[in-house]
Amino acid sequence: MTDDDNGIFRQQMKDVEPLKKPAERVRLKQPVVMTPGLESRRRAAEAMIASDVDGLSSEAYIPPVKPRDVLSFKRSGVQHGVFKNLRMGNYLVDSRLDLHRLTVEQARQQVYLFIQDCLKHDIRCALITHGRGENREKPALLKSCTNHWLQQMDEVLAFHSAQPQHGGTGATYVMLRKSAEKRVENLERHHKGIKSRL
């Protein structure tokens, strides 16, 4: 810098006053590198937030099934004959839910509310139509979700893919627990039957 440049600089800076308080340093965040471990933790956190309300998993952790797979699930204690009747479609379907054209999140809420409503009205056998999801970007997505969600619900005793007249592998029969009132009623009826035979 020459004396001439120095003079110009001083001339330009003559009205400048120093700051009373030192300026705070601004730290730039390093860009987040998305590692497999970080991605996995993020999905787990999202699943926990999503399942807070109803206890059902979000789409991220649902094992896929194929469009034509038969869904079949039975809790221990369900008699073989009872499960066979469910599988064969021998029980009267008292309530139905259709999940077609719903998003996964909408379907999740509907399945949860539907099962709660069935319990409230003492419905023992219901039918959920989820479709097969063939020729989709994610085949059998709602079917996979339904399969997983129903297993997460303690109120569901068993379920099985429906007979062809009820939708085949695009629908599922669901057997629900008896309400507490119905269990007491059955015990009383059973107890009266024993007394009348004595």
Q: Is 36 helix (H, G, I), strand (E, B) or coil?
A: helix
Banded model confidence at residue 32, pLDDT cuts 50, 70, 90: low
Banded model confidence at residue 179, pLDDT cuts 50, 70, 90: confident
How far, in Å, are 19, 76, 183 from residue 13 at the CA level?
14, 86, 90
| Residue 3: predicted pLDDT | 67
CATH for 48-184 (3.30.1370.110, 3.40.190.10, 1.10.10.10, 2.70.70.10): 3.30.1370.110
Whole-model pTM above 0.85? no
Amino acid at 53: V
Q: With CA atoms as reference, report the closest residue to 55 among 121, 168, 157, 148.
A: 148
pLDDT by residue (tens digit) across 132-178?
Answer: 999 888 899 999 999 999 999 999 999 999 999 999 999 999 999 98
| 179 CB-contact burial (10 Å; exposed 0-12 / middle 13-18 / buried 19+) | middle
Helices marked H in 133-178: 141-152
Domain boundaries, given as residue ranges, for the chain: 48-184
pLDDT by residue (tens digit) across 55-101?
Answer: 776 666 789 999 999 999 999 999 999 999 999 999 999 999 999 99
- More confidently predicted of 168 and 53: 168
| Residue 52: predicted pLDDT | 47
What span, in angstroms and rounded, lies between the C-alpha atoms of 87 and 85? 5
pLDDT by residue (tens digit) across 115-143?
Answer: 999 999 999 999 999 999 998 888 999 99
Question: Is residue 47 over pLDDT 60?
Answer: no
Cα 60 to its chain centre, rounded Å, is 9
How far, in Å, are 90, 125, 143, 165 from residue 95 at the CA level?
15, 7, 18, 16
